[in-house]
């Protein structure tokens, strides 16, 4: 079974840079230093897997399939504590753009496999993207009196300050109201 790679962007622009991607063509990174540990110096293109992408939906409104062209260098970006499903490559092909809807986010949530703490950051991203039904299910399945302080801390850490905050304030506020009710 091959791994399905995905990337989230605002249209054809990355939420992390101003790179304009070409659809169904080989995109080549301007900067590629795979041995570098600082992300801004590493260069390349970030992407994730179908089971980890839920964490990154905050990075855009459109999701793409990623194809790895022959001869491409791909690295699994190391993380100090947990595998978080970020890969980088010097070349990728993006295809099959789909708008991120609540229904699509729900499908991704149901196949997701990320560390528990990452679901709390994903919750913030899902709220910002306006995916209320997915937020409600995540809260029902993963948030309780025992972890509510950690959940709120992770959401606060993720959204303040956050350049990806431009999103659905109404859904974000509704999710925060639900979480504050659990806190009571």
pLDDT tens per residue, range 14-57 = 766 778 899 999 999 988 998 887 777 888 999 999 999 999 89
Q: What pLDDT score does 21 carry?
A: 94
Per-residue pLDDT band for 160 (boundaries 50, 70, 90) equals low
Is the separation of the CB atoms in 179 and 143 below 8 Å? yes
User: Residue 25's pLDDT is what?
Assistant: 97
Q: What is the pTM of this model?
A: 0.88
Note whether 55 and 85 are within 8 A (CB).
yes
The CA distance from 156 to 173, in Å, is: 13
Task: Determine which helix (DSSP H) or strand (DSSP E) holds 3, and give its type and residue range.
Answer: none
Per-residue pLDDT tens over the stretch 91-142: 999 999 999 999 999 999 999 999 999 999 999 999 999 999 999 999 999 9
pLDDT at 172: 92
CB 9 within 8 A of CB 23: no
Query: Would you say 170 and 134 are in contact if contact means Cβ atoms under 8 Å apart?
Result: no
Two tokens, residue 90: 């010097």
Residue with tokens 């110096």: 41
The percent of residues above 70 in pLDDT, for the chain, comes to: 91
Nearest by Cα to 139 from 181, 179, 106, 169: 179
- pLDDT at position 41 is 83
- DSSP string computed for 47-92: EEETTTGGGGGGG-SEEEEEE--TT--EEE---SSS----EEESEE
- pLDDT above 60: residue 1: no
Angle at 104 between CA 25 and CA 94, to 5 degrees: 5
Q: How far is CA 146 from CA 32, 136, 150, in A?
A: 43, 18, 9
How does residue 11 score in pLDDT terms, banded at 50, 70 and 90? confident
Q: How confident is the model at residue 157 (pLDDT cuts 50, 70, 90)?
A: confident
- Tell me: the pLDDT tens digits for 169-178? 899 999 999 9
**Average pLDDT of the residues in 144-155:** 95
């Amino acid at each position: 079974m091959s791994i399905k790679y995905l990337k989230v962007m605002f249209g054809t622009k990355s939420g992390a840079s101003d790179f304009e991607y070409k659809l169904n063509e080989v995109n080549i990174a301007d900067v590629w230093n795979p041995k570098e540990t600082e992300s801004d110096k590493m260069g390349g293109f970030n992407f994730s897997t179908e089971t980890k992408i839920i964490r990154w939906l905050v990075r855009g409104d459109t999701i793409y399939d990623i194809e790895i062209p022959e001869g491409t260098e791909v690295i699994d970006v190391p993380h100090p504590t947990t595998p978080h499903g970020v890969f980088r490559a010097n070349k990728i092909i993006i295809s099959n753009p789909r708008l991120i809807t609540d229904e699509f986010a729900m499908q991704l949530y149901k196949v997701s496999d990320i560390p528990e703490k990452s679901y709390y950051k994903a919750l913030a991203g899902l709220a910002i993207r306006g995916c209320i039904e997915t937020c409600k299910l995540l809260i029902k399945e993963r948030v309780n009196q025992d972890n509510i302080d950690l959940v709120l801390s992770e959401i606060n850490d993720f959204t303040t300050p956050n350049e990806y905050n431009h999103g659905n304030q109404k859904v974000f506020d509704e999710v925060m109201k639900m979480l504050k009710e659990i806190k009571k």
